[in-house]
Each structure stands twice: as C-alpha cells, then as structure tokens.
Structure 1
Amino acid sequence: MKKIILLLTLITLVFSSMPVNEAVAKSKYKKISVSATAYNELGRTATGFDYRKHPTAKAIAVDPRVIPLGSKVYVPGYGYAIARDVGGRIKGKIIDVHFKTRKQAIKWGRKKVKIRIYRK
C-alpha cells in the first residue's frame, strides 16, 4: 500500500511541475491590421514560387520584417495564403494579395483588413 501511495505522489509531482501545453498557453496566431492591395503577375516570387505552374495559388507579398516569408496568413475576404513574395512598395504593415486576373485584382482594390499570421 505504501508503494502505491508513493507512486501516486511521485506521478502527481511530475505532472504538476510540467508546463502547460504551449498551444493553450500561447496564441496560435498573431492579429495585425494592414492595408491590403492586390496584384496579378505570372512569374516567380521572391521565394522562387512559380505562378505559371500554380496560377490559382493563394499568395501574398509582404514586408519580411513584419511578416516572415513562408508564413501562413488568413486574409478576410481572400482566405488562407502563404507569404511568398516581397515588393518594392510593400513596407511596414502593407500586404499585396495575388489574384489570377487583373479584373479580380482591380475588384479587390485597397482595403484595411485585420489578418491572422500563423507560426511557420
């Protein structure tokens, strides 16, 4: 009986000293407000992704100092995308959303959105 109590006490001590699950302790994503513009190009991105091979891929251009390249991002009204590109005018909290056609890009225009950036 003493062995069982000792074992239960040991198990309790081990589990009580373990850190809380990181997924619960930390947010799974970071929210930021950005100005979102749109573009349509068929070529290679800064990360080497080829839009000619994947013209319907959802991708965004970012300032890598704000959003790391390769990050998964949720953009309201666009959906989930990967930060695959950079741009000369993409500085700070600005993103450029990729569309397959010029008409779609013009329809998007420029808007303020609150995006979620997921960890790589």
Structure 2
Amino acid sequence: MKKIIILIAAIIVLFSSLPQNSATAKTKYKNITVSATSYCELGRTATGFDYRKYPKAKAIAVDPRVIPLGSKVYIPGYGYAIARDVGGRIKGKIIDVHFKTKKQAIIWGRKKVKIRVYHN
C-alpha cells in the first residue's frame, strides 16, 4: 500500500510540472510604436527575397538596429509580415510596409502604429 501511495504522489508531482496546455505557452514579443510608411517595389530585398516571385508577400523594411531582419511582425491594418528589407531613410522607429501596387501603397500613406515584434 505504501508503494502505491508513493507511486501516485510521484505521478502527481511529475504531471503538475508539465505545461497545462501548449496553446497557453507565452509567446515572447515586444510592442513598439513606429511611423509606418509604404512602398511598392518588385525587386530583391536586402535579405535576397524576390518580390517578382512572390508579389503578394507581406514584408517590411526596417532599421535592423531596432527590428532584426527576419523578425515576424504584426501590423494593425496590414497583418503579419516579415522584416526582409532595409532602406536608406529607414532609421530608428520607422518601418516601410510593402504593397503589390502603387495604388495600395498610396492608400496606406503614412501613419503611426503600435506593432508587435516577435522574437526569433
């Protein structure tokens, strides 16, 4: 009887240390308020990504000192994107949001948004 009680106690301790639900695991991210401008280009990015092959890809240009290249980012009004490019005028807390067409880029314009940057 003593062995059964010890076994049950060991099982309870083992299972209590496991995560309750993998969906509730915390994702690490940071919120940053940035000035978001837009651009339309069908060339290669600084990371070698080719917009000609994937013109509908959601990507942004960033200052890699603020947002590392390759980071997944959520932008309200745009959705999830990957930091794939840099730009000569992208310094500090400024991002450049990529659009397939010039019309879409003009509609976006320039706005201040609070983005979520997920850690790689």
TM-score by length of 1: 0.84
**SS state of the match for residue 7, structure 1?**
helix
The equivalences for 1:48-63 within 5 A come to 48-63=48-63
Show structure 2 runs of 5+ residues with no match. Answer: none
**SS state of the match for residue 53, structure 1?**
coil
- Partner residue of 2:108? 108
- 1:13 Cα deviation after fit: 3.1
Identity %: 80
Q: Over aligned residue pairs, what C-alpha RMSD do you find? A: 2.3
The equivalences for 1:63-102 within 5 A come to 63-102=63-102
- 1:40 Cα deviation after fit: 0.9
- 1:39 Cα deviation after fit: 0.7
Opposite residue 46 of structure 2, the aligned amino acid is: A
**SS state of the match for residue 95, structure 2?**
strand
Show structure 1 runs of 5+ residues with no match. Answer: none
Q: Which moved more, 1:20-29 or 1:101-110?
A: 20-29
- Partner residue of 1:41? 41
- 1:101 Cα deviation after fit: 1.7
